[in-house]
Amino acid sequence: MFFFGTYGIPYCMISLVQLADVTYSEQLWDHHGLRLCIYSWGTQTLNHPTIIFLHGWLDHGDSWNTLGTLLVNKGYHCMALDHRGHGHSEHIPLYEEYHFADYISDLQSIIQAHNLDNFILVGHSMGGTIACIYSALCSRKPHRCILIDGLGPKHETESEATHRFKLHLSQRSRPSKHRSMTLETAIKKLNRAHYFLSQDSLEQQALRLTEPIGNGMRQWRWDPRHRNKSAISFSLPRFLDILGHIDCPVDCIFGQTSWYLQLPDLPSRLKAIPTLRNQIRLPSGHSPHVECPDLLAEAIRECLSGNSTV
């Protein structure tokens, strides 16, 4: 059942809970017939901008919960969303395909609908690429853009791009499906990628990222078509041009032991950003928002206060 919230936006409330001194809510927002899940920590204030978190590939918006709670306790209002086909957001129809531009369009519509003028984009991995493109090309600009291992994926050669397109067409000809699994199997799979999480945290994430399908079995919530190759490959020259159009301050945060630092063209991506302010390395792998959220919260606060150093 939908109702109209503060901004006259159609919502379906999932939950509204009080976590210590933090108000946390989940809402389903109807975006041109596709329901997207939006998370919110705290309330908007005049003294601080709203921080919008953008998650990575096959992740979900609620993975920012610890970080969001930490920043709200410092006076910030935080939001996140499950990108289409991820988490509790709906999957697109079977006759459609996922295109990267749709993620930027979804974000743009949410910012416009909430009438946000003073906001910060914080993007991790794929979410960082979304933040880059939005900051460069959309009219309502963020106050700042903070990228966590988020300057685009690996560049592909022309032959690799051709192979990608061929594989994409082949994958479209057959349906993508998840394999069923037990909750214990899901926990083990998450543990391989997030070995630093406690058993309780792993179970919470497994319950959040999967859905029951009967007989004690579960499957991932994200759309299995996300595993398919996209038709258009990542182009470094095109992306460097986009980076050159960013005119808000940009901070880049990296995990010290992350594979991302091994990208051979990372220096050229950094150099292409005319408004780059800080480069920060945290003692983590690819996901500092779940590996060391306290250190990431402090790094973000320092970026916003202007106290960070390159």
Q: Looking at residue 22, what is its pLDDT?
A: 63
pLDDT digits (tens, 9 = 90+) for 41-53: 998 877 789 999 9
Q: Are 73 and 51 in contact (CB under 8 A)?
A: no
Q: Looking at residue 146, what is its pLDDT?
A: 98
Q: Cα(278)–Cα(305) distance, rounded to whole angstroms?
A: 12
pTM of the model: 0.90
pLDDT per residue as tens, the chain (310 positions): 222 233 333 444 344 333 445 688 999 989 999 999 999 999 887 778 999 999 999 999 999 999 999 999 998 999 999 999 999 999 999 999 999 999 999 999 999 988 898 999 999 999 999 999 999 999 999 999 999 999 999 998 889 999 999 999 999 888 889 999 999 999 999 999 888 888 988 998 999 999 999 999 999 999 999 999 999 889 999 999 999 999 999 999 999 999 999 999 999 999 999 999 999 999 999 999 999 999 999 999 999 987 554 4
Looking at the chain, how many residues does it have?
310
Q: Are 210 and 46 in contact (CB under 8 A)?
A: no
What six digits make up the tokens of 190? 């998450």
CA geometry: angle 297, 298, 302, nearest 5 deg: 120
- The amino acid sitting at 233 is S
What six digits make up the tokens of 25? 């809510």
Please state whether beta strands 276-282 and 119-124 pair in parallel, antiparallel, or not at all (unpaired): unpaired
Burial class (CB in 10 A: 0-12, 13-18, 19+), 270: middle
Can you tell me whether residue 259 is helix, strand or coil? helix
CA geometry: angle 286, 123, 44, nearest 5 deg: 130
Sheet containing strand 119-124, strands side by side: 3-4, 10-19, 22-31, 34-41, 77-81, 50-54, 119-124, 144-148, 250-255, 276-282
What six digits make up the tokens of 35? 């329901």
C-alpha closest to that of 256 among 226, 286, 232, 218: 286
Please state whether beta strands 250-255 and 144-148 pair in parallel, antiparallel, or not at all (unpaired): parallel
At the second CATH level, the architecture of 3-153+234-305 is 3-Layer(aba) Sandwich (3.40)
Q: Are 165 and 184 in contact (CB under 8 A)?
A: no
Other Cβ atoms less than 10 A from the Cβ of 231: the count is: 15
pLDDT digits (tens, 9 = 90+) for 132-148: 999 999 999 999 999 99
Q: Are 256 and 282 in contact (CB under 8 A)?
A: yes
Report domain extents, the chain.
3-153+234-305
Q: Cα(90)–Cα(74) distance, rounded to whole angstroms?
A: 32
Q: Are 155 and 236 in contact (CB under 8 A)?
A: yes
What six digits make up the tokens of 220? 């991932």
Question: Which ranges of the chain would DSSP assign to H, the alpha helix?
Answer: 65-72, 100-113, 126-137, 158-172, 183-193, 199-209, 236-243, 266-271, 288-291, 293-305
